[in-house]
Structure 1
């Protein structure tokens, strides 16, 4: 009887541990630190008004302006759901949004942006997923607010929702902009 009680107790403990955590509340060790020194090559063949859309490097995020970095993929259903909110974020905040197409096929990434719109100033690729690891990305999608000095000011794990846009992302952008204006 004792082995059965021990097994049931352990099973209950594991079940509780698996269901009690919220991955969107995972803290990021990178908050307040410079963005990882990563390079995101351009999504080949992606054009905007007939001109190639560039990729970007970490140094592009430290040019004195608050920006946003969004990791996404065409195969990611929550990325499709959040995409209109990225377009709204761009319109409402005026910040540059840098997109990272994660572990995706080039054609699929271009098709995704052709279908849903391109809110991104630059679109880089992370074909192997190594850069996402450097950034501490847990899964798709994830969004980072970067201050003008190239430091991570805020991280949103999971898709942008109307609520997170209003209560988290826009306030994080405003806070980063306010800090930018008061810094020497």
Structure 2
């Protein structure tokens, strides 16, 4: 192999890596597809954060539309979205179910005491056993689950008024109409 070819190979590899990096930087990280869309929620059972004698499981997500919100007390973005969830908790078209993820129960309970509790129920998953099956890799994440327990949408990042009005509310309305 000649010296010019040896010189070009690393240059070509470097150029390809730069192209992949530029393509990756141009993508919206909140639009990472989930292989669970269109599938039933994974079977699970967790202790309820505010009442450890009670459990929260996949059966609790059937019969009505659910927003399953993955959150943690240490998550700054989760605290930012908390007021939006409090406002949404007054809606009657769906329930908000929390998945307290990789957290300390006392810290999580303190956040709920200070900021209010928007969750109809809140599964406690300190070891990521359930989060792993849901494909959770960060907080906050919110899943929209239909009345049949099928995951219809996954949102990565905090929910705000714009995301609610442009994305989640139309989907909830559609699911409600389908179930009527």
TM-score (norm 2): 0.87
Query: 1:1-184 counterparts in 2 under 5 A?
Result: 2=8, 5-6=11-12, 8-43=14-49, 46=50, 54-62=54-62, 64-181=63-180
Q: How many aligned positions are there?
A: 174
CA deviations over 1:35-72 (Å, ceiling 9, x no partner)? 100112111xx37xxxx79441101111x211211110
CA deviations over 1:115-137 (Å, ceiling 9, x no partner)? 11101111111111121121122
Bigger CA radius of gyration:
2
Distance 2:9 2:38 in 1: 49
- Structure 2: gaps spanning 5 or more residues: 1-6
Could you tell me how far 1:92 is from its partner in structure 2? 3.4
Q: Tell me, yes or no, if the aligned pair for 2:48 and 2:54 is still in contact at 8 Å.
A: yes
CA deviations over 1:86-116 (Å, ceiling 9, x no partner)? 1112223542111011000011100111111
Detail structure 1 runs of 4+ shifted over 3 Å in the superposition: 1-8, 52-55
Could you tell me how far 1:17 is from its partner in structure 2? 3.7
- Structure 1: gaps spanning 5 or more residues: none
In structure 2, the CA distance between the partners of 1:121 and 1:55, relative to structure 1 (3 Å rule), is farther
Distance 1:53 1:121 in 2: 16
SS in structure 1 opposite 2:91? helix
